[in-house]
Amino acid sequence: MAEGYLFEGLKVLDVGTWIAAPVSATMLADYGADVIKIEQPQLGDGYRNFAPAVNLDGTDANYTWHLDARSRRSLALDLKSEQGMAILHGMVVDCDVYVTNQPLAMRRQLKLTYEDLAPLNERMIYASLTAYGEQGSERDVEGFDMVAYWARSGLMQTVHATGAAPTQALPGMGDHPTGMAMYANIVTALLRREKTGKGSHVHTSLLANGLWSFSCVAQSQLAGGDLSDYDERRGRAYTSVPYEAADGRWLVFTMVRTEEALDSLFAIAGIPELLADERFATPEGRAANGAFIVEKLADCFRARPADEWLADFQAAGVPAAVAATPTTLVEDEQLLVNNMLLDAPEGMGMDKVVDHPLNQEGLPRKPLTRAPEIGEHSREVLAELGFSDAQIDRLAADGVI
């Protein structure tokens, strides 16, 4: 008998917007969960409008919406109406997972906090995302990943070229890893429920995930380190800064740890004389004179295209890479052979879609489906809840759905 989907029969309510919370439900859907997205009638999730507004590449496809909101059903429901709230409460009674990133103040106002809903269903996993955490003076402050994950965590102030102004993060750069944390929270809570029979309140925040991404540096400060000159020191780290090649692409090195690899780096770059210079004979000397080495390497690497340099470094065992661009990514065979890019189903308006990084060998996955239109499945879902056609017509006439 063929193995079924791991989360088949799991009922998930996606009462969130944008990426970080809802995308955790997308991953549950891939392994069989029935995910129902609750959206405001007519308006829907604001994320629906992101790609058309940004229009990065002139495509007609609503690519970000299909990327993150795929494989679920949409129920348009006015939660400010008594009837709409009654319907949601009825769904909560029977759900397994409730995913939300509504602002905490809104949840308190609508009576949709964990404390409000837990009495309806003691087995429910209530998965909550906030910008800055569930406690403290900033708990009610709304925020997106570009602020809460990127800027507030310390990443923005640190990840930039020496002497350059901080740069803004890319869309979704903090949301997607935070969605992984949400998924891990949910799956951990489901395992706990298997052992105890009880649901629970799990939560994470954009700030917590940004700090976790920054932790290798932040921990130094917590350990009593002095990071006041960190920006300057990074500029002297000659094997950690990017170098522009003749074709405008960028070479990067990492963990050049052995004397042999360092010798090869200098020799291939065309500056073997540095190996005989006593200023660079020790790690301490190289660190102290790192700015000079950076300048010398930068001059050398402008002489040839990046791929030529990379081939030589790989042959010599020097840990190097060429920074990818959006154009080179779609041609990257490594992404295809490892199923990092999946065939997009009909209706998405594109050939490929980026997959999440979860991989479970031998575990069946549901076929991808396009993201839903606002309220596309309202009648279907309400019929499953026992509503008659006449009742559904009345809810539609009253603007509840």
CATH number of the CATH domain containing 29? 3.40.50.10540
pLDDT of residue 101: 97
Residues 262 and 353 in one domain: no
Does the pLDDT value for residue 291 go beyond 90? no
Rounded CA-CA distance 271/299 in Å is 10
Instruction: Give the pLDDT band (50/70/90) at residue 170.
Output: confident
Position 228 in a domain: no
Residues 153 and 264 in one domain: no
Does the pLDDT value for residue 11 go beyond 90? yes
pLDDT of residue 1: 35
The residue segments making up the domain with residue 258 are 243-322
Position 6 in a domain: no
Does the pLDDT value for residue 111 go beyond 60? yes
Rounded CA-CA distance 171/169 in Å is 7
3-state secondary structure of 50: helix
Q: Once rounded to an integer, what is the mean pLDDT over residues 167-186?
A: 93
Cβ atoms of 274 and 280 closer than 8 Å: yes
Domains contained in the chain, number: 2
Does the pLDDT value for residue 368 go beyond 70? yes
Q: Which of 178-192, 249-263, 311-325 has the lowest mean pLDDT?
A: 249-263
Does the pLDDT value for residue 272 go beyond 70? yes
Boundary of a domain, candidates 291, 322, 353 = 322
Instruction: Give the pLDDT band (50/70/90) at residue 233.
Output: low
Q: Which of 127-131, 136-140, 150-154 has the lowest mean pLDDT?
A: 150-154
Instruction: Give the pLDDT band (50/70/90) at residue 232.
Output: low
Boundary of a domain, candidates 322, 355, 372 = 322
Tokens of 41: 């009638």
Does the pLDDT value for residue 230 go beyond 80? no
Residues 266 and 126 in one domain: no
Other beta carbons within 10 Å of 291: 14
352-354/97-100 β-pairing: unpaired
| % of the chain exceeding 90 in pLDDT | 64
Boundary of a domain, candidates 293, 322, 351 = 322
Q: Once rounded to an integer, what is the mean pLDDT over residues 13-19?
A: 96
Residues 210 and 354 in one domain: yes
Residues 34 and 114 in one domain: yes
Q: Once rounded to an integer, what is the mean pLDDT over residues 85-106?
A: 97
Residues 48 and 188 in one domain: yes
Position 233 in a domain: no
CATH number, domain with residue 260? 3.30.1540.10
For 298-330, write each residue's pLDDT tens digit.
999 999 999 999 999 999 988 999 988 888 887
Report how far apart, in Å, the C-alpha atoms of 157 and of each of 153, 154, 168, 243, 294 are. 9, 6, 10, 21, 22
Residues 75 and 146 in one domain: yes
Question: H-type helices in 4-160, by residue range?
Answer: 22-30, 50-54, 63-69, 82-94, 104-110, 114-117, 145, 155-158
Does the pLDDT value for residue 85 go beyond 50? yes
Which residues, 6+ apart, have CB-to-CB distance to 177 below 8 Å?
209, 213
Position 302 in a domain: yes
Position 81 in a domain: yes
Residues 181 and 252 in one domain: no
Other beta carbons within 10 Å of 203: 18
Does the pLDDT value for residue 2 go beyond 90? no
DSSP states along 151-184? ITTSHHHHSS-TTSPP-PPPTTTTHHHHHHHHHH
Q: Once rounded to an integer, what is the mean pLDDT over residues 245-262?
A: 87
Position 327 in a domain: no
Does the pLDDT value for residue 235 go beyond 80? no
Residues 170 and 281 in one domain: no
Does the pLDDT value for residue 57 go beyond 80? no
Other beta carbons within 10 Å of 300: 17
Position 226 in a domain: no
Residues 140 and 287 in one domain: no
Q: Once rounded to an integer, what is the mean pLDDT over residues 369-392?
A: 96
Residues 358 and 282 in one domain: no
Query: What is the value of pTM for the model shown?
Result: 0.89
Does the pLDDT value for residue 82 go beyond 90? yes
Burial class (CB within 10 angstroms; exposed 0-12, middle 13-18, buried 19+) of 234: middle
Position 5 in a domain: no
Other beta carbons within 10 Å of 149: 30
pLDDT of residue 3: 66
Residues 162 and 262 in one domain: no
